[in-house]
Structure 1
């Protein structure tokens, strides 16, 4: 008989390079539905050295990348063990997203560093990781993965939007879960603020003081990716190749660059929501760091209009939803149940993805 209560730590490192999120979650079934409790959380900021290593990892040789893969796996295990010790946690498993360094599903390629075996050995617990590779091997994009959590945990909302480094959306259509990466969210904003030595713009205060740069907005909105049909996904490579050159070539104030970037983000998000809504009044559930950017959310509501209600949950859920969902994905993998949806990724079929590592 399968367990109905699982105590899992979810580990998440996103494309925005903010750091590592850890969430100790109780995942359980009740009345035929999956439920959760986020019991303890912690965020570990990356050192300047670690952030630089992760940011530049795309340029490493194969040998150098594998060395970083193992080192980062050990570091993840050490952070997990420290988290367990600090809160005296009783843990069944650790589900780790790893950190994406390469994502080119059209070439059958995706790679998340953070060796599962090194992670398991460093913390002494079983680990589930490498959630994307199997999906890519059967024709999928390997992304987005979070929609399984949207369906099982947050199905009462018409749309689920995540504003991390990139923006992605999830919704039900004709009995299937549809999800894909819309485009930019925090990566472009953080890139701009770093020009003046800030990691980010708290609450969008700087962006709110700016004005629109029509030329930059037009160039960003004209990017080919936005016109592609789903399923589709994007990542750091696209950001570097397509977004950064436009931003860096625009001579304007930081306030105006941020203001324009948020307008661009909201325009693309609103386009996708309006295109896929099937009734008059809708709810949009928003999580990820961008949900805490007041100017971003205010502008998004303006562009969405009055018939779409933006719902922002508790700060804990905003910040740790992805870590929570990877906990769920780990549980589903241990049960050999579907945790990646083919309707979302474009794969030939649903799958129970992830590799299980046991400590030695």
Structure 2
């Protein structure tokens, strides 16, 4: 377990209202990179006079998955239905054990459990996140739990992703754009023509980079050192950019399976290339699609990719070899870089409990705004 991070700082304005409504929420997030379980405790306040929200991520820890769990999660797409349910219950218990080990559970009114996305096929009308909210609720001795946050938006013919832009609209409006460099890179901003927030998955990020790092025995490319030693392979770079997904209109989203089916096979077309050159090409590709999306905006950058020096340099570079305009990059404090997703899903779960929208049609393409998520138990603040 990495040392817990604690921060008194805020990225959003706190109302001067002396008695704002206050909510203590734990957010649990595990992304497509399969690197671990993120646990954060957030405090949200709403000014009753202005109706505006503020939030602070009070404490955060990221717990790496043991290799045994990483392997089980990777194998799930080919597993039987019985295996899925058994794994879901056992993995949920593992998550509960990590939560209880933090000693933070007594501080919270609500736990929001994103689960582990194994399948994401909104075009077929479904999305699948591993994890049982009912079992987590029981394992935490009745602490209320929200889970399954994406399914309702998909049922309304939306993409079910990204969902974090709802949070960015409420808590991070000071930035022109918000970029998450996780397993998948996604971006959100306000559309200048409509005034609505829009967001979409841009393409692969750490899923691709970590795949290449594993070829030389690393979990990830620390600070982009491998990429910095390589040279861009022009033919592969162009093949990446020519992927059909990049020409599709918004809204759009992808899952791990798209990367495995469409992106990784392109690497096999360069059988003699060094890992350094493949990594440099992947970084140039990721930076290019991000820059084409961000269009030079003042952008908050979070997620593990924010620590990849080669990637950040490429985002800011004036080199004509990278497509698009340089990005005006803002990297916040470490607790926000690593914990923004857990913080965000804590807020999305809180909105669900309050019956307020946590998915936007302008972002996901759904037929209507919705307040998605299954609730197990009743939070104390609803009983006051």
Q: Structure 1-normalised TM-score?
A: 0.93
C-alpha displacement of 1:93? 0.7
In the other structure, the counterpart of 2:69 is 50
- Pick aligned residue for 1:126 from 144, 148, 165: 144
Tell me the distance in 2 between the aligned counterparts of 1:89 and 1:291.
32
1:313 aligns with 2:335: no
C-alpha displacement of 1:97? 0.7
Tell me the distance in 1 between the aligned counterparts of 2:325 and 2:151.
39
TM-superposition CA deviations, 1:106-160 (whole Å, max 9, x none): 1111010111011111112110010000111111011001101111111111111
In the other structure, the counterpart of 1:73 is 92
Please tell me whether the aligned partners of residues 26 and 110 of structure 2 are also in contact (alpha carbons under 8 angstroms). yes
TM-superposition CA deviations, 1:159-204 (whole Å, max 9, x none): 1111000110101111211011010111100000001111001110
Tell me the distance in 2 between the aligned counterparts of 1:127 and 1:98.
12
Gaps of 5+ in 2: 1-18, 379-384
Please tell me whether the aligned partners of residues 74 and 114 of structure 1 are also in contact (alpha carbons under 8 angstroms). no
1:98 aligns with 2:108: no
Please tell me whether the aligned partners of residues 73 and 117 of structure 1 are also in contact (alpha carbons under 8 angstroms). no
After superposition, where does 1:77-88 map in structure 2 within 5 Å? 77-83=96-102, 85=103, 87=104
In the other structure, the counterpart of 1:354 is 373
Gaps of 5+ in 1: 275-280
- 3-state SS of 2:107 partner: coil
- 3-state SS of 2:33 partner: coil
Please tell me whether the aligned partners of residues 28 and 40 of structure 2 are also in contact (alpha carbons under 8 angstroms). yes
Tell me the distance in 2 between the aligned counterparts of 1:33 and 1:132.
24
1:180 aligns with 2:195: no
Tell me the distance in 2 between the aligned counterparts of 1:211 and 1:225.
25
Please tell me whether the aligned partners of residues 292 and 325 of structure 2 are also in contact (alpha carbons under 8 angstroms). no
In the other structure, the counterpart of 1:278 is none
Name the stretch that deviates more: 54-63 or 128-137: 54-63
In the other structure, the counterpart of 1:202 is 222
TM-superposition CA deviations, 1:10-44 (whole Å, max 9, x none): 00000011100000111111453211121111111
C-alpha displacement of 1:249? 3.6
Tell me the distance in 1 between the aligned counterparts of 2:264 and 2:328.
32
After superposition, where does 1:176-325 map in structure 2 within 5 Å? 176-250=196-270, 251-274=272-295, 282-302=297-317, 303=322, 305=325, 308-325=327-344
C-alpha displacement of 1:88? 7.0
- CA 1:88–1:355: 2 relative to 1, 3 Å: closer
- Pick aligned residue for 1:116 from 133, 136, 151: 133
Please tell me whether the aligned partners of residues 178 and 344 of structure 1 are also in contact (alpha carbons under 8 angstroms). yes
Q: Which has the higher helix share?
A: 1
In the other structure, the counterpart of 2:363 is 344
Tell me the distance in 2 between the aligned counterparts of 1:73 and 1:351.
26
In the other structure, the counterpart of 1:140 is 158
Q: Structure 2-normalised TM-score?
A: 0.88
